[in-house]
Amino acid sequence: MKYKALIILVFALVASFSSCNENEKPVDLEAPVIGALTAGQSIQPSPGMLVGPLEESVMVNFKVTDSSGIKEILLDIHGGFDGHSHGRLSNSFERLNIRQIFSSTASNPNLRIPKGSPEVIIDAHRISWTGSNAAVVGNLLAGPYHITISATDLEGNQSGFADGSNYHTTFYIQRPYAPLLQLVRAENGGLVASAGQNLKIEGSVLVTNDPISTPLKFIWVRLSNQDNLDEKISESTFGEAMVGESSWRNLKGEPLFATDKFDLGSLLAKNSIQIPTGQSKLTLIIWAEDTAGNVTREAIPIHVN
């Protein structure tokens, strides 16, 4: 009798344990998902985006979702000029340096989000460099900027770089006092070249008439079949030419004497870059610096005949 009672008790305990497990909420181990506002769109600023010289701000647009609810979102924007070094920067210009945390307890109402919401939409969040809400005190340094968006949910799961769940890319802010690139382009805004022939371009890099413009210091041209936005020479680079000495990178060419206007055609005449065969998608990347450290950088598509 006691034996049967013991068996019944064991089964009752097992049944109770199983019932508890079935009623327990599954543990969330997934990081928040960072994406565009709608399908078919891109998170803004998008990879390689150019913010024009007359623009006074950049719009940040994205969405974060998580079934457990979102605790906070970090927005980080900083200069991508030289691999995060802070040397050789003119005191006349200032880099954009943004670190904002969106949360339900944020003191800034513009950064406040609903507590534990499974979806947070950040739409038309403006980062300005002029006006009363300017993020810089002086003149903004033109050039490449890194943006990182990360998020944490109520369970403590956080997006990261290792699994690619953070949003991280580079965009470029142009300013009217930075070097100006003038090129003769095809109707589609790109260039036309023939496979097996040397690349030829018509155009110049010049100093604008803005009162705080400074002389040209370094010009770098390279041909690639992909733009990784990292300024690193790789197997995808088919040729490069440079003149002057960079303030931001360990790069140096022949002395740059024409510091007001430089002819790009003459650079490629002395340092020929051949258009490779078997490549249907090529990009010409031009990086130009002035003595104050401002950078103008454009990636121009090439149609290969």
Q: What is the pLDDT of residue 234?
A: 72
Sorted by where each starts, the structural domains of the chain and their CATH numbers stand as 33-173 (2.60.40), 180-304 (2.60.40.2550)
pLDDT of 27 > 80? The answer is no
Report the chain's mean pLDDT, rounded to a whole number: 90
Helix (H) or strand (E) holding 38: none
At 92, is the pLDDT very low, low, confident or very high (cuts 50, 70, 90)? confident
Distance of CA 143 to the CA centre of its chain: 11
Q: Tell me: the pLDDT tens digits for 187-198?
A: 889 999 999 999
Q: Which residue has the higher pLDDT, 227 or 83?
A: 227
- The mean per-residue pLDDT over the stretch 76-97 comes to 76
* Burial (0-12, 13-18, 19+ Cβ within 10 Å), 45: buried
At 25, is the pLDDT very low, low, confident or very high (cuts 50, 70, 90)? low
Q: Is 221 left (phi over 0), alpha (psi -120 to 50) or beta?
A: beta
- What does residue 208 show for φ and ψ, rounded to 5 degrees? -80, 175
- The mean per-residue pLDDT over the stretch 213-218 comes to 98
How far is it, in rounded angstroms, from Cα 273 to Cα 199?
6
Helix (H) or strand (E) holding 191: strand 191-193
How far is it, in rounded angstroms, from Cα 268 to Cα 222?
10
- The mean per-residue pLDDT over the stretch 241-264 comes to 96
pLDDT of 205 > 90? The answer is yes
Which candidate, 237, 71, 232, places its Cα nearest to that of 157?
A: 71
Q: What is the CA radius of gyration of the chain?
A: 27
- Judge if the upstream peptide bond of residue 26 is cis by omega within 30 degrees of 0: no
